[in-house]
Chain A
Amino acid sequence: MNWKYITTIYLKELRDSLRDRRTLISMIVIPTLIIPVLMFGVGTVMSKVIRQAKEEATSVVILNGADSPSVVAALKADKKFHVVDGAADYKQLISDKRVRVAVEIPAGFEASLKTSTPQTVMIYHYQGELKSGLGAGELDKFFRALREKTVETRLTDRGLPVTLVKPFEIKWENVAPPEKVGGNAIGGFIPYIIIILSFTGAMYPAIDLTAGEKERGTMETLLCSPVNRLNIVLGKFLMVLTASVTTILLSLSSMALSAVIGIMSFAGGGAAGAKAAAAGGTIPIIDPLGIFGVVAMIAPVAVLFAALLLAISLFAKSYKEAQSYVSPFIIVVIMPAMLGMLPGIDLSVKTSLIPILNLSLVCKEMLSGVWHWQYIALIFGSTTVYAAIALAFCVRMFNREDVMFRA
């Protein structure tokens, strides 16, 4: 190992990569521009769509109900509902999303409220369809309220206190500090994004520096130089690692910057901001130390990715061939990262040893301000071991004639 040669190779690869459009796009343009646009653009659109769906009156078809005029009148008077005709083909209307829900009022419903014959109110909805689900919820609320009112009336008629059926109240109170709320809400999302970006950021330079060089015929030129192959691998590896780390740092800073801008425009919005906050839109706060923790923990994973990507793409003869080997690995990376976002999958000795999943889990904890030092050490240690194995594998591949001169 000779650091002078490693540095020479690294600096040349850096200069070469900075002149490569594909590498620049994946390393700089995507993390700084696309990610915040995706995160905040899609986020805003989604919350807007959901809010609109909630605010919009629920279109509902009432089936029967001719003998329950006051219930029908109450539904029609309620601003949350918009009663539509169409009893004949209500199922079709719901399926076509022209009506959110339908409600079937049984015959003699109003009369039965006074007598004590139990009846069934049917709500027809379209499962999995957001607006229909919201509408069904509203209808359910409406009829629950009616049921409670009926119970109260019956109790008062018999001279009994209302507390008979309401022996206690239930109240909710949040004890989680705001940074933990933020950590849990977006803490699972940030490591997921970073893991994927550290992979895609390393992908193009790794392919370009190996299969790309083979295809263009420069690999043989390089191997003719007196420099030991170990130094060549390490120089190239450091470049791929640089690309990966740059992608992570740029995407983190651009996410942080867009978050700050987002909060400032919230505060500047005054009344609008207050309205949004009142509507349940709390601004998630992330533990800033957690971000440093995430960056530190992602380092060995970036090493692992860089070494693996180099070794895999080195096997290919051409850029295209390498792309087809490497692309499926995105799924391999995404799956454990996604598992980490699921509720119920928590840190344990076992999950600490599963690469990527362990990172996803520990980052979520760190971003909400919880530091499990023993797991952090175990995860950092095991990932470092995996990374070292990957790097050794990469060096081995560079020394294999059948890989370097695959015909």
Chain B
Amino acid sequence: MIEAHNLTKTFKDKKRGVITAVDNVSFTCRPGQIYGLLGANGAGKTTTLRLLATLLQPTSGTARLAGHDTQSASELVRANVGFLAASTALYARLTAREMITYFGRLNGMPDDAIKARIRQLSAELDMDEFLDRRCDKFSTGMKQKTSIARTLIHDPAVMIFDEPTLGLDVMTARSIVKFVRDCRNRGKTVIYSTHVMSEVEKLCDTIGIIHDGRLVAEGTLAELQQRFGETDMEEIFVKAVGGEAALAAALKN
């Protein structure tokens, strides 16, 4: 379960003054559901997800993940979260097994449990062949599989994906999408950010459109289609953010 209440995050910038990256955002994401956070570049998706993963502290507002508050119990939150982003890389000089074991230990797991879990994940993700090779020699697909195994080692209840398909080839991107769906089917709470409209359409149970730090529209695909009188996700998105001119202005900033 993810519950965000009036989350706000401001940054100070020397040139531009105070920037509100996330502005009063509230939403709820339930177990067994995928919540899609859709927004253009710089809309505030990554900051929102970093707030949820406790990498950043909110300026105001609160968030609870798996029943723990992100500010007062940040370590418990992280113990219950698997965070996968385009920006979370692997240690190039470690092997896949060493990498996954390291994060198992950082999650306080005993070595026996880590071994058993790696065996299971490796079978599921088909990693046996490269498990003991160094990550710097991996293809993108192998890297993604290792990253997935890293986020799943402690079997977290909440999964946070920040544009996980960014820059990936079609095959790898498809396998990621399949994996996200699997997470939902296993009853995990999933939040997924992207700027790819098609991914949102086929993957997400609830869609939140974020623009300029604010959540401007929220609902199921059917609800959004009805509200904006459009069937195409892209058209819905453009209408939700206030038209092309507003979108262009936001991207300029």
Across-interface contacts of A217 in B (CB, < 8 A): 87-89
User: Would you call A224 and B55 a contact (CB within 8 A)?
Assistant: yes
User: Would you call A15 and B94 a contact (CB within 8 A)?
Assistant: yes
User: Would you call A220 and B107 a contact (CB within 8 A)?
Assistant: no
Q: Please, how many angstroms separate the alpha-carbon atoms of A221 and B55 in the complex?
A: 10
Q: Does B192 contact A (CB under 8 A)?
A: no
**Interface membership of chain A positions 238-278, coded 1 if the CB is closer than 8 angstroms to chain B and 0 otherwise:** 00000000000000000000000000000000000000000
User: Would you call A225 and B93 a contact (CB within 8 A)?
Assistant: no
Across-interface contacts of B88 in A (CB, < 8 A): 217-218, 220-221, 224
The A interface, classified by DSSP as helix, strand, loop or mixed, is: helix
Across-interface contacts of B78 in A (CB, < 8 A): 224-226
User: Would you call B56 and A401 a contact (CB within 8 A)?
Assistant: yes
User: Would you call B89 and A221 a contact (CB within 8 A)?
Assistant: yes
Q: Please, how many angstroms separate the alpha-carbon atoms of A222 and B76 in the complex?
A: 15
Of the candidates B11, B90, B93, B105, which one forms a contact with A221 in the assembled complex, judged by CB atoms under 8 Å apart? B90
Can you report 7 A-B residue pairs in the complex whose CB atoms are below 8 A from each other? A5-B106, A9-B106, A12-B94, A221-B89, A224-B55, A226-B75, A226-B76
User: Would you call A216 and B106 a contact (CB within 8 A)?
Assistant: no
Q: Does B57 contact A (CB under 8 A)?
A: yes
Contact A405-B55, Cβ < 8 Å, known A225-B103, A227-B106? yes
Contact A223-B55, Cβ < 8 Å, known A8-B106, A15-B98, A228-B75? yes
Q: Please tell me the number of chain A residues within 8 Å of chain B, measured between CB atoms.
A: 24
Shortest Cβ gap from A176 to chain B (Å):
52
Shortest Cβ gap from A101 to chain B (Å):
62
Shortest Cβ gap from A43 to chain B (Å):
38
Measured CB to CB, the nearest residue on chain A to B57 is A401
Q: Please, how many angstroms separate the alpha-carbon atoms of A220 and B85 in the complex?
A: 9
Of the candidates B50, B81, B98, B105, which one forms a contact with A405 in the assembled complex, judged by CB atoms under 8 Å apart? B50
Q: Does A16 contact B (CB under 8 A)?
A: yes
Across-interface contacts of B105 in A (CB, < 8 A): 5, 8
Q: In B89-147, which residues have CB < 8 Å from any A CB? A: 89-94, 98, 102-103, 105-108
Q: Does A129 contact B (CB under 8 A)?
A: no
Shortest Cβ gap from A219 to chain B (Å):
9
Shortest Cβ gap from A364 to chain B (Å):
41
Shortest Cβ gap from B92 to chain A (Å):
7
Contact A16-B108, Cβ < 8 Å, known A224-B83, A225-B103, A405-B55? no
Q: Please, how many angstroms separate the alpha-carbon atoms of A16 and B102 in the complex?
A: 12
User: Would you call B91 and A16 a contact (CB within 8 A)?
Assistant: yes
**Interface membership of chain A positions 187-230, coded 1 if the CB is closer than 8 angstroms to chain B and 0 otherwise:** 00000000000000000000000000000111011111111100
Which among B11, B91, B108 has the greatest number of chain A C-beta atoms within 10 A?
Answer: B91
Measured CB to CB, the nearest residue on chain A to B76 is A226
Q: Does A19 contact B (CB under 8 A)?
A: yes
User: Would you call A8 and B102 a contact (CB within 8 A)?
Assistant: yes
Q: With A9-B106, A15-B98, A222-B106 given, name 20 new contacts (CB 8 A).
A: A5-B106, A8-B102, A8-B106, A12-B94, A12-B98, A16-B91, A19-B93, A216-B92, A217-B87, A218-B88, A218-B90, A220-B88, A221-B103, A224-B55, A224-B81, A224-B88, A225-B103, A226-B79, A228-B75, A401-B56
Q: Does B64 contact A (CB under 8 A)?
A: no
Of the candidates A9, A225, A401, which one forms a contact with B107 in the assembled complex, judged by CB atoms under 8 Å apart? A225
Across-interface contacts of A9 in B (CB, < 8 A): 106
**Interface membership of chain B positions 48-72, coded 1 if the CB is closer than 8 angstroms to chain A and 0 otherwise:** 0010010111000000000000000
Q: Please, how many angstroms separate the alpha-carbon atoms of A220 and B92 in the complex?
A: 14
Q: Does A20 contact B (CB under 8 A)?
A: yes
Q: Please, how many angstroms separate the alpha-carbon atoms of A223 and B54 in the complex?
A: 9
Shortest Cβ gap from A211 to chain B (Å):
14
Q: Please, how many angstroms separate the alpha-carbon atoms of A217 and B57 in the complex?
A: 20
Top-7 shortest CB links A-B:
A217-B89, A225-B106, A226-B79, A19-B93, A226-B78, A224-B83, A221-B88
Across-interface contacts of B57 in A (CB, < 8 A): 401
**Interface membership of chain A positions 18-61, coded 1 if the CB is closer than 8 angstroms to chain B and 0 otherwise:** 01100000000000000000000000000000000000000000
Q: Does B150 contact A (CB under 8 A)?
A: yes
User: Would you call B102 and A224 a contact (CB within 8 A)?
Assistant: no
Q: Please, how many angstroms separate the alpha-carbon atoms of A221 and B12 in the complex?
A: 25
Q: In A1-19, which residues have CB < 8 Å from any B CB? A: 5, 8-9, 12, 15-16, 19
Shortest Cβ gap from A131 to chain B (Å):
53
Measured CB to CB, the nearest residue on chain A to B162 is A220
Contact A220-B55, Cβ < 8 Å, known A15-B94, A226-B108, A228-B75? yes
User: Would you call A20 and B81 a contact (CB within 8 A)?
Assistant: no
Q: Please, how many angstroms separate the alpha-carbon atoms of A218 and B106 in the complex?
A: 14
Q: Please, how many angstroms separate the alpha-carbon atoms of A223 and B105 in the complex?
A: 14
